[in-house]
Amino acid sequence: MKKIFALLAIASMMAVACGKDNNDPKPDNGEYVKPIEIDGDFSDWAKLDSKKVAASYAVSDEENPISALTSVKVYADAQYVFIYFKFDKDQIEIGSEEVPFHIYINGDNDESTGGFDNVQYKGSSTDVMMEGFLSDGTDFASYDPSVSIWVEPDPNDKDANPEWSWSQILPMGSGVCTGAGKDNEYEIAFVREMYPVDTLSDEFTIGFDIQLGWESVGILPNAACTADNASGLAPMLKVVTVK
């Protein structure tokens, strides 16, 4: 009996110790603890339950030459959408120019709303697009993008671009996101409450691109370029909110 108590005591001590190391976003007192700090230290990502993190990895650059974005991870909780990505340092020089980065969100998980379908992602039904910079031209900058919603292009308007038809809701610098980078990695926290159309669904899909000179040089998710899919389009990444 004594032995059992001793084992139970050790087990409970271990549970306490594990709990402390676990970076648990829901401590016992119910207070919200941000699971990811936007500080350019990416070790906090390793502490998340990988089953709850959506991830996408680029196909090889032989399969798809738009290859500057190599991997992305997304973790969404009730307050934030956290994004982590890695880029190819040989293609992206943070210190030499401004580096645009876009986030595309099908925030209602509804294929009948939004647009940008089959432009960069298969059937994306994108409702919201964020456009900002990772670099100010000399160093990493905090990503604080403008936010736009998709508007159906007017078929009677000769100047309308059916592939790029956005209406800006928030200007750059509104505080919708914060970001920090180091070497070839970057992390972003997007304030969920600032999503501009209704509320962001618990399940949504998302895609990303990194640009140079306003041309996409990396897109995720992506797929191999084939005869049937010359542009190497893939569906956007599905994210399920952790509650």
Q: How far apart are the first and last CA of the chain?
A: 40
- Smallest gap, in angstroms, from Cβ of residue 8 to Ca ion? 36
Q: Is 128 one of the binding residues for Ca ion (CB under 5 A)? A: no
User: Is cis: bond before 221, omega within 30 of 0?
Assistant: yes
Q: CB of residue 130 vs Ca ion: minimum separation in angstroms?
A: 15
How many residues touch Ca ion (CB under 5 A)?
A: 11
CA–CA dist 156, 112 (Å, integer): 22
Residue in 23, 25, 34, 37 binding Ca ion, rule: CB under 5 A:
37
DSSP letter for each residue of 167-204: EEEE-TTSSSEEEEEETTEEEEEEEGGG-SSS---SEE
| 30: number of Cβ within 10 Å | 6
Give the nearer residue to Ca ion in terms of CB position, either 47 or 89: 47
**Choice between 101 and 116, CB closer to Ca ion:** 116
Given 113, 165, 184, 241, the residue binding Ca ion (CB under 5 A):
113
Q: Judged by CB under 5 A, does residue 106 bind Ca ion?
A: yes
User: Under a CB-based contact definition with an 8 Å cutoff, are residues 175 and 143 in contact?
Assistant: no
Cβ nearer to Ca ion, comparing 191 with 212: 191
CB nearer to Ca ion: give 41 or 152.
Answer: 41
Per-residue x/- mask for Ca ion, residues 143 to 182, rule CB under 5 A? ----------------------------------------
SS3 label, residue 220: strand
Taking the least distance from each CB to Ca ion, the nearer of 63 and 238 is 238
Pick the closer one to Ca ion by CB: 39 or 152: 39
**Min separation Cβ 86 and Ca ion, Å:** 14
Q: Which amino acid is at 61?
A: D
Q: Output the CA–CA distances (angstroms, integers) from residue 3 to 6, 8, 16, 58, 143, in the order listed.
A: 5, 9, 20, 53, 56
Backbone φ/ψ region at 228: left (φ over 0), alpha (ψ -120 to 50), beta: alpha
State the minimum distance, in angstroms, from the CB of residue 1 to Ca ion.
Answer: 47
For 78-94, give the secondary structure using H, E and C: CCEEEEEEEECCCCCCC
Contact map string, positions 39 to 68, toward Ca ion, x by CB under 5 A: x-x--x------------------------
Q: Does the footprint of Ca ion cover residue 114 (CB under 5 A)?
A: yes
Interaction site with Ca ion (CB under 5 A): 37, 39, 41, 44, 106, 108, 110, 113-114, 125, 127
